[in-house]
A and B are shown apart, each in its own frame.
Chain A
Amino acid sequence: MLTGALQFNTSFFWHELLRPSSGFLGGLGRTVYISVIAQVIAVIIGLAVALARRSTLRILRSVAGLYVWVLRGTPLLVQLVIVYDGLAATDIYRFRDMTLLGISILASVQAAIVTLALNESAYMSEIIRAGLAAVDVGQNEAALSIGMTPAQSMRHVVVPQAIRFVIPPLGNDFNAMMKSTSVLSVIGVPEMFLITQEISSSTFHTFEIFLDAALYYLALTTIWTFIQAWLEAKVDRSWGIVRTKRSLLSSVRERFQDPRTLGLSRRA
Protein backbone atom coordinates (compact mmCIF):
# COMPACT_ATOMS: atom_id res chain seq x y z
CA MET A 1 0.00 0.00 0.00
CA LEU A 2 2.80 2.38 0.92
CA THR A 3 4.73 1.65 -2.25
CA GLY A 4 1.50 2.11 -4.27
CA ALA A 5 1.25 5.65 -2.96
CA LEU A 6 4.76 6.45 -4.06
CA GLN A 7 4.49 5.37 -7.62
CA PHE A 8 2.00 6.15 -10.34
CA ASN A 9 -0.75 3.53 -10.46
CA THR A 10 -1.59 3.47 -14.15
CA SER A 11 -4.51 1.09 -13.95
CA PHE A 12 -6.13 3.11 -11.15
CA PHE A 13 -5.66 6.28 -13.22
CA TRP A 14 -7.27 4.78 -16.33
CA HIS A 15 -10.02 3.07 -14.43
CA GLU A 16 -11.12 6.25 -12.66
CA LEU A 17 -10.82 8.24 -15.89
CA LEU A 18 -12.77 5.86 -18.12
CA ARG A 19 -15.14 4.29 -15.60
CA PRO A 20 -15.46 6.83 -12.82
CA SER A 21 -17.36 5.86 -9.71
CA SER A 22 -20.93 7.03 -9.35
CA GLY A 23 -19.74 9.28 -6.52
CA PHE A 24 -17.30 10.99 -8.85
CA LEU A 25 -19.92 11.37 -11.57
CA GLY A 26 -22.30 12.88 -9.01
CA GLY A 27 -19.63 15.42 -8.14
CA LEU A 28 -19.06 16.20 -11.82
CA GLY A 29 -22.80 16.66 -12.33
CA ARG A 30 -23.03 19.05 -9.37
CA THR A 31 -20.10 21.07 -10.67
CA VAL A 32 -21.89 21.49 -13.99
CA TYR A 33 -25.38 22.29 -12.78
CA ILE A 34 -24.27 24.60 -9.99
CA SER A 35 -22.20 26.57 -12.52
CA VAL A 36 -24.97 26.74 -15.09
CA ILE A 37 -27.71 27.79 -12.66
CA ALA A 38 -25.47 30.34 -10.92
CA GLN A 39 -24.41 31.81 -14.28
CA VAL A 40 -27.99 32.14 -15.53
CA ILE A 41 -29.07 33.89 -12.33
CA ALA A 42 -25.97 36.09 -12.49
CA VAL A 43 -26.84 37.25 -16.01
CA ILE A 44 -30.36 38.23 -14.93
CA ILE A 45 -29.24 40.07 -11.79
CA GLY A 46 -26.31 41.55 -13.70
CA LEU A 47 -28.64 43.02 -16.33
CA ALA A 48 -30.81 44.58 -13.62
CA VAL A 49 -27.75 46.04 -11.87
CA ALA A 50 -26.33 47.33 -15.18
CA LEU A 51 -29.62 49.07 -15.98
CA ALA A 52 -29.75 50.48 -12.45
CA ARG A 53 -26.28 51.95 -12.94
CA ARG A 54 -27.54 53.78 -16.03
CA SER A 55 -30.69 54.97 -14.28
CA THR A 56 -31.52 58.65 -14.05
CA LEU A 57 -32.31 58.09 -10.37
CA ARG A 58 -29.22 58.84 -8.36
CA ILE A 59 -30.17 56.60 -5.45
CA LEU A 60 -30.55 53.60 -7.77
CA ARG A 61 -27.14 54.30 -9.32
CA SER A 62 -25.53 54.54 -5.88
CA VAL A 63 -27.05 51.34 -4.55
CA ALA A 64 -26.01 49.43 -7.67
CA GLY A 65 -22.51 50.88 -7.46
CA LEU A 66 -22.23 49.84 -3.83
CA TYR A 67 -23.39 46.32 -4.69
CA VAL A 68 -20.71 45.90 -7.32
CA TRP A 69 -18.04 47.47 -5.14
CA VAL A 70 -18.68 45.12 -2.22
CA LEU A 71 -19.06 41.91 -4.22
CA ARG A 72 -16.03 42.53 -6.37
CA GLY A 73 -13.97 43.73 -3.47
CA THR A 74 -14.24 40.63 -1.28
CA PRO A 75 -13.04 37.06 -1.94
CA LEU A 76 -15.52 34.45 -3.07
CA LEU A 77 -14.30 32.14 -0.34
CA VAL A 78 -15.14 34.68 2.38
CA GLN A 79 -18.55 35.35 0.80
CA LEU A 80 -19.27 31.62 0.83
CA VAL A 81 -18.51 31.18 4.50
CA ILE A 82 -20.53 34.29 5.39
CA VAL A 83 -23.58 33.12 3.40
CA TYR A 84 -23.50 29.51 4.57
CA ASP A 85 -22.00 29.51 8.07
CA GLY A 86 -22.19 33.17 9.05
CA LEU A 87 -25.89 33.63 8.43
CA ALA A 88 -26.68 30.37 10.21
CA ALA A 89 -24.45 31.09 13.21
CA THR A 90 -26.18 34.41 13.79
CA ASP A 91 -29.60 32.87 13.17
CA ILE A 92 -30.30 35.27 10.31
CA TYR A 93 -30.89 32.53 7.77
CA ARG A 94 -30.22 28.82 7.79
CA PHE A 95 -30.15 26.91 4.50
CA ARG A 96 -31.94 23.54 4.82
CA ASP A 97 -32.01 20.57 2.49
CA MET A 98 -35.10 20.76 0.32
CA THR A 99 -36.84 19.02 -2.55
CA LEU A 100 -37.69 20.95 -5.65
CA LEU A 101 -39.66 19.22 -8.44
CA GLY A 102 -38.72 15.87 -6.96
CA ILE A 103 -35.01 16.65 -6.83
CA SER A 104 -33.42 17.00 -3.43
CA ILE A 105 -31.06 19.90 -3.11
CA LEU A 106 -28.55 20.01 -0.28
CA ALA A 107 -28.42 23.08 1.94
CA SER A 108 -24.77 23.61 1.01
CA VAL A 109 -25.62 23.45 -2.69
CA GLN A 110 -28.29 26.14 -2.26
CA ALA A 111 -25.83 28.37 -0.45
CA ALA A 112 -23.26 27.70 -3.16
CA ILE A 113 -25.63 28.66 -5.99
CA VAL A 114 -26.73 31.83 -4.18
CA THR A 115 -23.18 32.94 -3.43
CA LEU A 116 -21.74 32.13 -6.85
CA ALA A 117 -24.69 33.87 -8.53
CA LEU A 118 -24.35 37.02 -6.41
CA ASN A 119 -20.59 37.11 -6.82
CA GLU A 120 -20.75 36.58 -10.56
CA SER A 121 -23.63 39.07 -10.99
CA ALA A 122 -21.29 41.88 -9.96
CA TYR A 123 -18.87 40.94 -12.75
CA MET A 124 -21.76 40.38 -15.20
CA SER A 125 -23.18 43.81 -14.46
CA GLU A 126 -19.86 45.37 -15.48
CA ILE A 127 -19.71 43.23 -18.62
CA ILE A 128 -23.29 44.11 -19.55
CA ARG A 129 -22.68 47.77 -18.76
CA ALA A 130 -19.73 47.79 -21.13
CA GLY A 131 -21.82 45.92 -23.73
CA LEU A 132 -24.63 48.47 -23.54
CA ALA A 133 -22.11 51.31 -23.79
CA ALA A 134 -20.58 49.70 -26.88
CA VAL A 135 -23.88 50.06 -28.78
CA ASP A 136 -23.68 53.27 -30.80
CA VAL A 137 -25.81 56.11 -29.37
CA GLY A 138 -27.24 56.56 -32.87
CA GLN A 139 -29.05 53.23 -32.42
CA ASN A 140 -30.97 54.56 -29.45
CA GLU A 141 -31.75 57.78 -31.32
CA ALA A 142 -32.99 55.86 -34.34
CA ALA A 143 -35.31 53.86 -32.06
CA LEU A 144 -36.58 57.03 -30.38
CA SER A 145 -37.08 58.68 -33.78
CA ILE A 146 -39.61 56.03 -34.80
CA GLY A 147 -41.57 56.70 -31.64
CA MET A 148 -40.17 54.19 -29.17
CA THR A 149 -40.00 55.08 -25.51
CA PRO A 150 -36.55 54.84 -23.90
CA ALA A 151 -37.63 51.54 -22.33
CA GLN A 152 -38.77 50.10 -25.69
CA SER A 153 -35.53 51.23 -27.29
CA MET A 154 -33.55 49.48 -24.57
CA ARG A 155 -35.53 46.28 -24.97
CA HIS A 156 -35.93 46.03 -28.73
CA VAL A 157 -32.82 47.78 -30.01
CA VAL A 158 -30.00 48.32 -27.51
CA VAL A 159 -30.03 45.11 -25.42
CA PRO A 160 -30.23 42.73 -28.42
CA GLN A 161 -27.20 44.44 -29.94
CA ALA A 162 -25.28 44.46 -26.65
CA ILE A 163 -25.50 40.64 -26.56
CA ARG A 164 -22.89 40.46 -29.28
CA PHE A 165 -20.41 42.36 -27.13
CA VAL A 166 -21.36 40.47 -23.97
CA ILE A 167 -20.95 36.85 -25.10
CA PRO A 168 -17.13 36.70 -25.33
CA PRO A 169 -16.42 38.05 -21.81
CA LEU A 170 -19.41 36.12 -20.45
CA GLY A 171 -17.91 32.93 -21.85
CA ASN A 172 -14.62 33.76 -20.22
CA ASP A 173 -16.38 34.23 -16.88
CA PHE A 174 -18.29 30.98 -17.20
CA ASN A 175 -15.06 29.16 -17.82
CA ALA A 176 -13.73 30.67 -14.59
CA MET A 177 -16.98 29.87 -12.80
CA MET A 178 -16.73 26.14 -13.54
CA LYS A 179 -13.24 26.05 -12.09
CA SER A 180 -14.07 28.18 -9.07
CA THR A 181 -16.71 25.66 -8.00
CA SER A 182 -13.73 23.82 -6.50
CA VAL A 183 -13.72 26.27 -3.58
CA LEU A 184 -17.23 25.10 -2.68
CA SER A 185 -15.57 22.18 -0.91
CA VAL A 186 -14.97 24.45 2.10
CA ILE A 187 -18.68 24.47 2.90
CA GLY A 188 -18.96 20.78 2.13
CA VAL A 189 -20.59 20.85 -1.29
CA PRO A 190 -19.95 17.37 -2.72
CA GLU A 191 -18.75 18.67 -6.10
CA MET A 192 -15.94 17.25 -8.19
CA PHE A 193 -13.08 18.67 -6.09
CA LEU A 194 -14.42 17.45 -2.73
CA ILE A 195 -15.20 14.00 -4.11
CA THR A 196 -11.71 13.83 -5.58
CA GLN A 197 -10.25 14.74 -2.20
CA GLU A 198 -12.30 12.01 -0.55
CA ILE A 199 -11.19 9.39 -3.05
CA SER A 200 -7.63 10.58 -2.61
CA SER A 201 -7.66 10.22 1.17
CA SER A 202 -9.28 6.80 1.09
CA THR A 203 -7.05 5.33 -1.62
CA PHE A 204 -3.86 7.42 -1.27
CA HIS A 205 -3.75 7.64 -5.09
CA THR A 206 -3.58 11.43 -4.85
CA PHE A 207 -1.69 12.08 -8.06
CA GLU A 208 -3.77 9.72 -10.18
CA ILE A 209 -7.17 10.90 -9.00
CA PHE A 210 -6.31 14.62 -9.14
CA LEU A 211 -4.92 14.14 -12.63
CA ASP A 212 -8.25 12.55 -13.55
CA ALA A 213 -10.08 15.49 -12.01
CA ALA A 214 -7.88 17.94 -13.90
CA LEU A 215 -8.71 16.16 -17.16
CA TYR A 216 -12.42 16.36 -16.40
CA TYR A 217 -12.19 20.09 -15.63
CA LEU A 218 -10.28 20.51 -18.87
CA ALA A 219 -12.97 18.59 -20.75
CA LEU A 220 -15.69 20.82 -19.30
CA THR A 221 -13.96 24.08 -20.19
CA THR A 222 -13.07 22.76 -23.64
CA ILE A 223 -16.64 21.74 -24.38
CA TRP A 224 -17.72 25.20 -23.24
CA THR A 225 -15.20 26.79 -25.58
CA PHE A 226 -16.89 25.08 -28.51
CA ILE A 227 -20.38 26.00 -27.32
CA GLN A 228 -19.21 29.60 -27.02
CA ALA A 229 -17.74 29.61 -30.52
CA TRP A 230 -21.02 28.25 -31.83
CA LEU A 231 -22.97 30.97 -29.97
CA GLU A 232 -20.72 33.71 -31.31
CA ALA A 233 -21.10 32.45 -34.86
CA LYS A 234 -24.86 32.25 -34.41
CA VAL A 235 -25.08 35.88 -33.21
CA ASP A 236 -22.82 37.00 -36.06
CA ARG A 237 -25.11 35.27 -38.54
CA SER A 238 -28.10 37.11 -37.07
CA TRP A 239 -26.26 40.33 -37.95
CA GLY A 240 -25.75 39.17 -41.48
CA ILE A 241 -22.04 38.64 -40.83
CA VAL A 242 -21.10 35.42 -42.55
CA ARG A 243 -17.85 33.80 -41.57
CA THR A 244 -16.08 31.74 -44.09
CA LYS A 245 -16.48 28.05 -43.50
CA ARG A 246 -13.40 26.52 -41.96
CA SER A 247 -12.33 22.99 -41.44
CA LEU A 248 -12.83 21.52 -37.98
CA LEU A 249 -9.08 21.17 -37.58
CA SER A 250 -8.33 24.81 -38.34
CA SER A 251 -11.12 26.01 -36.07
CA VAL A 252 -9.78 23.83 -33.27
CA ARG A 253 -6.29 25.20 -33.82
CA GLU A 254 -7.68 28.74 -33.76
CA ARG A 255 -9.54 28.01 -30.55
CA PHE A 256 -6.39 26.82 -28.86
CA GLN A 257 -4.53 29.95 -29.83
CA ASP A 258 -7.32 31.90 -28.16
CA PRO A 259 -6.24 32.97 -24.64
CA ARG A 260 -9.71 32.05 -23.36
CA THR A 261 -9.00 28.40 -23.98
CA LEU A 262 -5.99 28.68 -21.73
CA GLY A 263 -8.40 29.64 -19.00
CA LEU A 264 -6.86 33.02 -18.27
CA SER A 265 -9.26 34.40 -15.74
CA ARG A 266 -9.56 37.11 -13.16
CA ARG A 267 -10.14 34.67 -10.30
CA ALA A 268 -6.92 33.63 -8.64
Chain B
Amino acid sequence: MTSSDSRGTRMEGGGATLIVQATEVRKSFGTQEVLKGVSLEVTRGEVVVLIGPSGSGKTTFLRCINHFEKPNSGVVQVNGHLIGSKLDRNGRRVDASAREIAKQRAEIGFVFQHFNLFPNRTALENVMLGPVKVQKMSKDKARTLAIDQLTKVGLSNKIDTYPAQLSGGQKQRVAIARSLAMSPALMLFDEPTSALDPEVIGEVLTVIRDLANDGMTMIVVSHEIGFAREVADRVAMFDDGQIVEIGTPRQVFDNPTQARTKAFLSKVL
Protein backbone atom coordinates (compact mmCIF):
# COMPACT_ATOMS: atom_id res chain seq x y z
CA MET B 1 0.00 0.00 0.00
CA THR B 2 1.02 3.57 -0.38
CA SER B 3 1.93 5.52 2.72
CA SER B 4 -1.13 4.73 4.74
CA ASP B 5 -0.73 7.55 7.22
CA SER B 6 -0.82 10.40 4.75
CA ARG B 7 -4.36 11.64 5.06
CA GLY B 8 -5.18 12.67 1.54
CA THR B 9 -3.11 14.72 -0.83
CA ARG B 10 -2.26 18.38 -0.41
CA MET B 11 -3.67 20.51 -3.17
CA GLU B 12 -1.12 22.71 -4.85
CA GLY B 13 -1.20 26.21 -3.46
CA GLY B 14 -4.43 25.71 -1.50
CA GLY B 15 -4.95 24.72 2.08
CA ALA B 16 -7.64 22.12 1.41
CA THR B 17 -6.88 18.41 1.42
CA LEU B 18 -8.00 16.26 -1.48
CA ILE B 19 -9.92 13.21 -0.36
CA VAL B 20 -10.98 12.08 -3.82
CA GLN B 21 -9.02 12.57 -6.98
CA ALA B 22 -10.48 10.75 -9.97
CA THR B 23 -8.71 11.35 -13.23
CA GLU B 24 -9.96 10.45 -16.70
CA VAL B 25 -11.87 7.37 -15.48
CA ARG B 26 -13.12 5.22 -18.33
CA LYS B 27 -15.27 2.13 -17.99
CA SER B 28 -16.87 -0.12 -20.58
CA PHE B 29 -19.28 -3.03 -20.21
CA GLY B 30 -18.67 -5.14 -23.31
CA THR B 31 -18.63 -2.74 -26.21
CA GLN B 32 -20.67 -0.06 -24.41
CA GLU B 33 -18.54 2.72 -22.96
CA VAL B 34 -20.38 3.84 -19.83
CA LEU B 35 -17.79 6.26 -18.44
CA LYS B 36 -15.99 8.31 -21.07
CA GLY B 37 -13.22 9.94 -19.09
CA VAL B 38 -14.65 11.31 -15.83
CA SER B 39 -12.51 13.50 -13.60
CA LEU B 40 -13.56 14.80 -10.21
CA GLU B 41 -11.75 16.19 -7.20
CA VAL B 42 -13.38 16.37 -3.78
CA THR B 43 -11.74 18.14 -0.88
CA ARG B 44 -12.12 17.18 2.75
CA GLY B 45 -15.49 18.10 4.18
CA GLU B 46 -16.96 18.79 0.78
CA VAL B 47 -20.34 17.44 -0.34
CA VAL B 48 -20.74 16.77 -4.05
CA VAL B 49 -24.14 15.77 -5.41
CA LEU B 50 -24.30 13.88 -8.70
CA ILE B 51 -27.37 14.31 -10.88
CA GLY B 52 -28.20 13.21 -14.39
CA PRO B 53 -30.50 11.02 -16.43
CA SER B 54 -30.88 7.28 -15.94
CA GLY B 55 -28.06 5.31 -17.51
CA SER B 56 -25.68 8.28 -17.57
CA GLY B 57 -23.10 6.42 -15.44
CA LYS B 58 -23.56 7.91 -11.93
CA THR B 59 -23.72 4.54 -10.18
CA THR B 60 -20.87 3.14 -12.23
CA PHE B 61 -18.72 6.15 -11.30
CA LEU B 62 -19.44 5.67 -7.57
CA ARG B 63 -18.63 1.98 -7.90
CA CYS B 64 -15.30 2.82 -9.54
CA ILE B 65 -14.39 4.97 -6.55
CA ASN B 66 -14.51 2.05 -4.11
CA HIS B 67 -13.41 -0.48 -6.70
CA PHE B 68 -16.67 -2.40 -7.02
CA GLU B 69 -15.88 -1.81 -10.67
CA LYS B 70 -12.37 -1.78 -12.04
CA PRO B 71 -11.95 1.12 -14.47
CA ASN B 72 -10.54 0.26 -17.89
CA SER B 73 -8.28 3.28 -17.60
CA GLY B 74 -7.77 6.33 -15.45
CA VAL B 75 -6.78 6.74 -11.82
CA VAL B 76 -8.82 6.93 -8.64
CA GLN B 77 -7.15 8.12 -5.47
CA VAL B 78 -8.96 8.22 -2.16
CA ASN B 79 -7.36 9.57 0.96
CA GLY B 80 -3.94 9.25 -0.64
CA HIS B 81 -4.36 5.66 -1.79
CA LEU B 82 -4.37 4.52 -5.39
CA ILE B 83 -7.60 2.54 -5.40
CA GLY B 84 -7.18 -1.04 -6.60
CA SER B 85 -3.48 -0.52 -7.16
CA LYS B 86 -0.20 -0.25 -5.37
CA LEU B 87 3.30 0.73 -6.40
CA ASP B 88 5.84 -2.04 -6.73
CA ARG B 89 9.54 -1.64 -5.84
CA ASN B 90 10.27 0.12 -9.09
CA GLY B 91 7.44 2.57 -8.55
CA ARG B 92 5.22 0.93 -11.17
CA ARG B 93 1.49 0.63 -10.67
CA VAL B 94 0.38 -2.99 -10.15
CA ASP B 95 -2.91 -4.53 -9.04
CA ALA B 96 -3.45 -4.61 -5.28
CA SER B 97 -4.33 -7.91 -3.59
CA ALA B 98 -7.86 -8.69 -2.37
CA ARG B 99 -6.71 -7.97 1.19
CA GLU B 100 -5.22 -4.59 0.23
CA ILE B 101 -8.32 -3.61 -1.69
CA ALA B 102 -10.43 -4.55 1.35
CA LYS B 103 -8.28 -2.26 3.49
CA GLN B 104 -8.83 0.61 1.07
CA ARG B 105 -12.59 -0.01 1.02
CA ALA B 106 -12.75 0.05 4.81
CA GLU B 107 -12.04 3.80 4.57
CA ILE B 108 -14.91 4.36 2.14
CA GLY B 109 -18.50 4.05 3.29
CA PHE B 110 -21.04 2.98 0.68
CA VAL B 111 -24.77 3.42 1.15
CA PHE B 112 -26.92 1.47 -1.28
CA GLN B 113 -30.26 2.31 -2.80
CA HIS B 114 -31.71 -0.92 -1.42
CA PHE B 115 -29.93 -0.76 1.98
CA ASN B 116 -28.44 -4.28 1.79
CA LEU B 117 -28.70 -4.80 5.54
CA PHE B 118 -27.77 -8.28 6.75
CA PRO B 119 -31.25 -9.74 7.35
CA ASN B 120 -30.05 -12.39 9.80
CA ARG B 121 -28.56 -9.81 12.16
CA THR B 122 -30.14 -7.22 14.43
CA ALA B 123 -29.52 -3.51 13.87
CA LEU B 124 -26.80 -3.61 16.51
CA GLU B 125 -25.15 -6.69 14.99
CA ASN B 126 -25.26 -5.10 11.53
CA VAL B 127 -23.33 -2.11 12.83
CA MET B 128 -20.92 -4.16 14.98
CA LEU B 129 -19.88 -6.61 12.29
CA GLY B 130 -17.34 -4.38 10.51
CA PRO B 131 -15.54 -3.18 13.64
CA VAL B 132 -15.39 -6.73 15.05
CA LYS B 133 -14.44 -8.72 11.96
CA VAL B 134 -12.48 -6.12 9.99
CA GLN B 135 -10.93 -3.90 12.65
CA LYS B 136 -10.68 -6.75 15.18
CA MET B 137 -12.22 -4.52 17.84
CA SER B 138 -13.35 -6.21 21.07
CA LYS B 139 -17.06 -6.98 21.18
CA ASP B 140 -17.60 -4.71 24.17
CA LYS B 141 -15.98 -1.75 22.48
CA ALA B 142 -17.78 -2.47 19.23
CA ARG B 143 -21.12 -2.64 21.03
CA THR B 144 -20.56 0.76 22.65
CA LEU B 145 -19.52 2.20 19.30
CA ALA B 146 -22.50 0.67 17.51
CA ILE B 147 -24.95 1.99 20.11
CA ASP B 148 -23.39 5.44 19.68
CA GLN B 149 -23.78 5.30 15.92
CA LEU B 150 -27.36 4.04 16.10
CA THR B 151 -28.17 6.80 18.59
CA LYS B 152 -26.68 9.34 16.21
CA VAL B 153 -29.09 8.25 13.46
CA GLY B 154 -31.98 8.30 15.95
CA LEU B 155 -32.43 4.56 16.38
CA SER B 156 -31.31 3.92 19.95
CA ASN B 157 -34.68 2.22 20.52
CA LYS B 158 -34.26 -0.23 17.63
CA ILE B 159 -30.97 -1.81 18.67
CA ASP B 160 -32.25 -5.38 18.93
CA THR B 161 -34.63 -5.19 16.00
CA TYR B 162 -34.14 -7.29 12.87
CA PRO B 163 -34.23 -5.58 9.44
CA ALA B 164 -37.49 -7.37 8.60
CA GLN B 165 -39.18 -5.34 11.36
CA LEU B 166 -37.80 -1.94 10.33
CA SER B 167 -39.33 0.61 7.97
CA GLY B 168 -37.39 1.60 4.84
CA GLY B 169 -36.23 4.84 6.41
CA GLN B 170 -35.07 3.03 9.53
CA LYS B 171 -33.24 0.42 7.44
CA GLN B 172 -31.40 3.10 5.54
CA ARG B 173 -30.40 4.82 8.77
CA VAL B 174 -29.03 1.53 10.14
CA ALA B 175 -27.10 1.13 6.87
CA ILE B 176 -25.62 4.59 7.30
CA ALA B 177 -24.67 3.76 10.91
CA ARG B 178 -23.05 0.54 9.69
CA SER B 179 -20.84 2.53 7.31
CA LEU B 180 -20.05 5.22 9.88
CA ALA B 181 -18.92 2.61 12.43
CA MET B 182 -15.86 2.05 10.24
CA SER B 183 -14.88 5.76 10.64
CA PRO B 184 -14.65 6.29 6.88
CA ALA B 185 -12.79 9.19 5.30
CA LEU B 186 -15.40 9.34 2.56
CA MET B 187 -19.04 8.37 2.25
CA LEU B 188 -20.64 7.42 -1.05
CA PHE B 189 -24.45 7.41 -1.35
CA ASP B 190 -26.18 5.88 -4.36
CA GLU B 191 -29.73 7.27 -4.45
CA PRO B 192 -30.19 6.66 -0.72
CA THR B 193 -33.83 7.77 -0.71
CA SER B 194 -35.19 6.61 -4.05
CA ALA B 195 -36.46 3.29 -2.67
CA LEU B 196 -38.26 5.01 0.20
CA ASP B 197 -41.85 6.06 0.76
CA PRO B 198 -42.17 9.86 0.50
CA GLU B 199 -43.01 10.27 4.18
CA VAL B 200 -39.70 8.75 5.38
CA ILE B 201 -37.35 10.41 2.88
CA GLY B 202 -36.98 13.36 5.22
CA GLU B 203 -35.59 11.38 8.15
CA VAL B 204 -32.81 9.92 5.98
CA LEU B 205 -31.97 13.28 4.41
CA THR B 206 -31.77 14.77 7.91
CA VAL B 207 -29.14 12.21 8.87
CA ILE B 208 -27.12 12.98 5.74
CA ARG B 209 -27.47 16.73 6.40
CA ASP B 210 -26.17 16.22 9.96
CA LEU B 211 -23.20 14.33 8.56
CA ALA B 212 -22.46 17.20 6.20
CA ASN B 213 -22.58 19.62 9.10
CA ASP B 214 -20.14 17.39 10.99
CA GLY B 215 -17.70 17.82 8.10
CA MET B 216 -18.01 14.39 6.47
CA THR B 217 -16.74 14.23 2.90
CA MET B 218 -19.52 12.84 0.70
CA ILE B 219 -20.50 12.09 -2.86
CA VAL B 220 -24.25 11.66 -3.14
CA VAL B 221 -26.23 10.54 -6.16
CA SER B 222 -29.62 12.11 -5.62
CA HIS B 223 -32.56 13.57 -7.45
CA GLU B 224 -33.72 15.48 -4.37
CA ILE B 225 -33.06 18.93 -5.79
CA GLY B 226 -34.16 20.78 -2.65
CA PHE B 227 -31.78 18.71 -0.55
CA ALA B 228 -28.92 19.19 -3.04
CA ARG B 229 -29.47 22.93 -3.09
CA GLU B 230 -29.19 23.05 0.68
CA VAL B 231 -26.42 20.55 1.41
CA ALA B 232 -24.22 20.34 -1.70
CA ASP B 233 -21.10 22.41 -2.04
CA ARG B 234 -21.03 21.43 -5.68
CA VAL B 235 -23.38 19.70 -8.07
CA ALA B 236 -22.10 17.61 -10.98
CA MET B 237 -24.35 16.90 -13.93
CA PHE B 238 -23.73 13.54 -15.62
CA ASP B 239 -24.81 12.78 -19.14
CA ASP B 240 -23.77 9.99 -21.43
CA GLY B 241 -20.77 8.94 -19.34
CA GLN B 242 -19.38 12.42 -18.80
CA ILE B 243 -19.65 15.28 -16.34
CA VAL B 244 -21.14 17.92 -18.62
CA GLU B 245 -21.45 20.65 -15.99
CA ILE B 246 -20.21 21.17 -12.45
CA GLY B 247 -20.56 24.08 -10.07
CA THR B 248 -22.32 25.38 -6.98
CA PRO B 249 -26.01 24.49 -6.67
CA ARG B 250 -26.85 28.06 -7.63
CA GLN B 251 -24.81 27.90 -10.80
CA VAL B 252 -26.08 24.50 -11.88
CA PHE B 253 -29.72 24.77 -10.82
CA ASP B 254 -30.37 28.46 -11.44
CA ASN B 255 -28.05 29.29 -14.30
CA PRO B 256 -27.21 26.09 -16.14
CA THR B 257 -25.00 26.71 -19.15
CA GLN B 258 -25.51 23.35 -20.86
CA ALA B 259 -28.60 22.51 -22.87
CA ARG B 260 -28.53 18.96 -21.49
CA THR B 261 -28.58 20.25 -17.91
CA LYS B 262 -31.52 22.52 -18.70
CA ALA B 263 -33.39 19.64 -20.33
CA PHE B 264 -32.74 17.36 -17.37
CA LEU B 265 -33.72 19.95 -14.77
CA SER B 266 -36.94 20.78 -16.57
CA LYS B 267 -37.91 17.14 -16.10
CA VAL B 268 -37.09 16.74 -12.40
CA LEU B 269 -38.02 20.18 -11.09
Residue from B66, B107, B119, B161 whose CB has the most chain A CB atoms within 10 Å? B119
Q: Which of B16-24, B127-135, B246-254 contacts A (4 or more CB under 8 A)?
A: B127-135
Q: Which residues A123-181 have CB closer than 8 A to chain B?
A: 136, 138-139, 141-152, 156-157, 160-161, 164
Separation of A119 and B106 alpha carbons in the complex (Å): 42
User: Which among A30-38, A41-49, A192-200, A237-245 touches the partner chain?
Assistant: A237-245
Taking a contact as CB atoms under 8 Å apart, the answer to whether B68 and A240 are in contact is no
- Closest residue of chain B to A156 (Cβ to Cβ) is B133
Q: Are A148 and B110 in contact (CB under 8 A)?
A: no
Inter-chain contact A147/B116, CB cutoff 8 Å: no
Kindly report which residue of chain A lies nearest to residue B166, judged by CB atoms. A240
Chain B residue contacts of A148, Cβ below 8 A = 102, 130, 133-134
Give how many A-B residue pairs fall within 8 Å (CB-CB): 82
Partner of B99, one of A149, A239, A240: A149
* Interface presence of B105 (CB below 8 A): yes
The answer to whether A157 and B118 touch across the interface, beta carbons within 8 angstroms, is yes
A152 to B134, CA, bound (A): 9
The residues of B that contact A157 with a CB separation of less than 8 Å are 118, 129
Q: Are A144 and B105 in contact (CB under 8 A)?
A: yes
Q: Which residues of A contact B112 (CB under 8 A)?
A: 138, 141-142, 145
The residue on A at minimum CB distance from B110 is A145
B116 touches A146 (CB 8 A): no
Indicate whether A147 sits within 8 Å of B106 (C-beta atoms), given known contacts A152-B133, A240-B164.
yes
Asked, given contacts A152-B134, A156-B129, whether A144 binds B162 with beta carbons under 8 Å apart, the answer is no
Distance (whole angstroms) from the CB of B18 to the closest CB of chain A: 22
Residues of A within 8 A of B130 (CB): 146-148
Residues of B within 8 A of A239 (CB): 119-120, 162, 164
The 0/1 profile, CB within 8 Å of A marked 1, for residues 100-111 of chain B is 001101111110
- Is B42 positioned at the interface, with any CB of A under 8 Å from its CB? no
The one of A141, A145, A150, A240 in contact with B108, judged by C-beta atoms closer than 8 angstroms, is: A145
The answer to the question of B80 belonging to the interface, with a C-beta cut-off of 8 Å to chain A, is no
Closest Cβ neighbor of A142 among chain B residues: B116
Does residue B98 face the partner (Cβ distance < 8 Å to A)? yes
Tell which of A139, A147, A240 touches B134, judged by Cβ atoms closer than 8 Å. A147
Contact of B120 among A145, A146, A160 (CB under 8 A): A160
**How many angstroms from the CA of A152 to the CA of B135 in the assembled complex?**
12
Interface string of B173-203 (1 = CB under 8 A from A): 0010011011000000000000000000000
Across the interface, B116 reaches (CB within 8 A) one of A136, A151, A164, A241, namely: A136
Interface residues of B in 94-151 (CB under 8 A from A): 98-99, 102-103, 105-110, 112, 114, 116-120, 122, 129-130, 133-135
Can you list 14 A-B contacts with CB-CB less than 8 angstroms, sorted by A residue number?
A: A141-B112, A142-B112, A142-B178, A145-B68, A145-B108, A145-B109, A145-B179, A147-B105, A147-B130, A152-B133, A156-B129, A157-B118, A161-B120, A240-B161
Closest 8 CB pairs of A and B: A240-B162, A147-B106, A146-B130, A142-B116, A145-B110, A138-B116, A147-B134, A149-B102
